[in-house]
Structure 1
Amino acid sequence: MPRFHRIAVGQYEEFRQPGAIKAAAAELFSTLTFVFAGQGSGMAFSKITKGGPTSPPGLVAAALAHGFGLFVAVSVGANISGGHVNPAVTFGAAIGGNLTLVRAVLYIIAQLLGSTVACILLAFSTGGLTTTAFALSGVSVWSAFVFEIVMTFGLVYTVYATALDPKKGDIGIIAPIAIGLIVGANILAGGAFTGASMNPAVSFGPALVSWDWTNHWVYWAGPLVGGGLAGVVYQLIFISHTHEPLPTGDY
């Protein structure tokens, strides 16, 4: 019967290893780039049109900005850290044994820091415009929770299929664009209801800088549950346990 024999806690010394530090730095800069583009697009749209980001043109603009931004962020980080750019992706990858829990914590800290710095830079460079926190619109907290679970499940499932599966072969080449496209599609599907975060780091930076924590737990619990479920499902059903462990460079 399959089991998660590859989950590893890791060693505290990983926090001081040059490779781990470089990988965390890559996550920081990739997340900073992604959040600056995504959050900045919403701020620019609101300023130019005087309209809300959940209007039809606003959703399309957000989907394009986040999809393109994530494609670039994943691409530039892939060879160093794996290009997670998302605590939910990192958590889902750790569930499948693709990195240690210690390194996962290091990645998540870097991702949160990158998002926060991006929002601070946006607030400064736009003359004090608000980096709006994610908010619910017309749905209950529990409906939003399910929305975030399902959308993040699709995202992390895509990451597994195109980037983490040892059998991925040539399809790994399209991993960054596939990941960007699923995020853009999910924003079109759920952006009008929850803002379609799918990423605790993307939610954390704006919430911290604007100091608006309303229903913030949804944007942690939903993505982490969805990412963890995707890791469990893909690892149990689709990844053969006869494979050799993934090389460190693929983490």
Structure 2
Amino acid sequence: MPIHTQLVDRVAVGRYQDEVTHPSAIKAFVAEFISTLIFVFAGQGSGMAFGKLTDGGATTPAGLVAAALAHGFGLFVAVSVGANISGGHVNPAVTFGAFIGGNITLLRGIFYIIAQLLGSVVACLLLFFSTGGLATTGFSLSAGVSIWNAFVFEIVMTFGLVYTVYATAIDPKKGDVGIIAPLAIGLVVAANILAGGAFTGASMNPAVAFGPAVVSWDWGCHWIYWAGPLIGGGIAGAIYELIFINRTHEPLQGSEF
């Protein structure tokens, strides 16, 4: 069977009763909501705290390092606590990449993404109220960075993230995940923030960009933080599934990694 046919055959819509209303599915949605809330609260909150302490110094090199560490550690925890329940996606781009590779059904993937977006919005609302009304920091392009520069940046960074997810958490040859997958995923996000944070903010995650945009109501260039990550995640999922896993069609057993 040609490899492209294998990929198409593995993509499934899923049954509503199994993928949406089943108790295990509901638990998975709640886990994605909580994990994303934890991640966004820590990452976004660290930027707000650093900016307050340094009177706007969050854009300095020290602020970039602080953001990388906060997001890396936060994602490590968020993936770890959700891994055994939902797979710990914490990112619509990861969910989309898993769908492209046939590792999650369309229905469950849609509800994962809804849960992730809600988790991000609630995290930003909690930050807004608990900090006395400090503005959540939306993603924006740095001076001299064009829309297409940022678009490519987000594609490449998210490709690296989702490729890492596949290699450490989805690949059936991975063995016992333990803490290796969450650690590797957190580290690649931290590294990408150091590489691209000064240019695009290094979102790699539509949910991370969506929450601050809703609370601050700032939608400038917001489409980049959806299109770039989804394209990068989809390409990573297709490449890893076709080249390195390359399995024949088999029924999905669930959406967990």
TM-score range, shorter-chain basis?
over 0.9
User: Deviations 1:198-225 (Å, cap 9, x if unpaired)?
Assistant: 0000000000000000000000000000
**What corresponds to 2:198 in structure 1?**
192
**2: CA distance, partners of 1:99 / 1:249:** 4
**1: CA distance, partners of 2:186 / 2:138:** 21
**What corresponds to 1:213 in structure 2?**
219
User: Deviations 1:68-108 (Å, cap 9, x if unpaired)?
Assistant: 00000000000000000000000000111111010000000
Describe how 1:28-67 pairs up with structure 2 within 5 A: 28-67=33-72
**2:25 equivalent among 9, 14, 20:** 20
Amino acid at match of 2:12: A
Q: Is the 8 A contact 2:92 2:116 kept in 1?
A: yes
**2:241 equivalent among 225, 235, 241:** 235
Amino acid at match of 1:12: Y
Give TM-score, length-normalised by structure 1: 0.96
1:114 aligns with 2:113: no
Deviation of 1:15 after TM superposition, in Å, equals: 2.0
User: Deviations 1:105-126 (Å, cap 9, x if unpaired)?
Assistant: 0000000000000000000000
Amino acid at match of 1:76: V
Q: Which consecutive residues of structure 1, in runs of 5 or more, have no partner in the other structure? A: none
**2: CA distance, partners of 1:221 / 1:184:** 21
Deviation of 1:18 after TM superposition, in Å, equals: 1.1
**1: CA distance, partners of 2:222 / 2:63:** 22
Amino acid at match of 2:16: Y
Deviation of 1:52 after TM superposition, in Å, equals: 3.6
Distance 1:225 1:249, change over 3 A: closer
Amino acid at match of 2:39: F
1:159 aligns with 2:168: no
% same residue: 76
Distance 1:209 1:59, change over 3 A: same
**What corresponds to 2:14 in structure 1?**
10
Q: Is the 8 A contact 2:102 2:252 kept in 1?
A: no
Q: Is the 8 A contact 1:54 1:191 kept in 2?
A: no
Distance 1:242 1:12, change over 3 A: closer
**1: CA distance, partners of 2:175 / 2:228:** 31
Q: Is the 8 A contact 1:166 1:243 kept in 2?
A: no
**2:188 equivalent among 177, 182, 186:** 182
Match of 1:23, SS state, is helix
Deviation of 1:132 after TM superposition, in Å, equals: 1.2
Amino acid at match of 1:56: P
Give the count of matched residue pairs: 251
Deviation of 1:43 after TM superposition, in Å, equals: 0.1
Q: Is the 8 A contact 2:164 2:184 kept in 1?
A: yes
**1: CA distance, partners of 2:40 / 2:252:** 29
**2: CA distance, partners of 1:40 / 1:59:** 14
Deviation of 1:241 after TM superposition, in Å, equals: 1.0
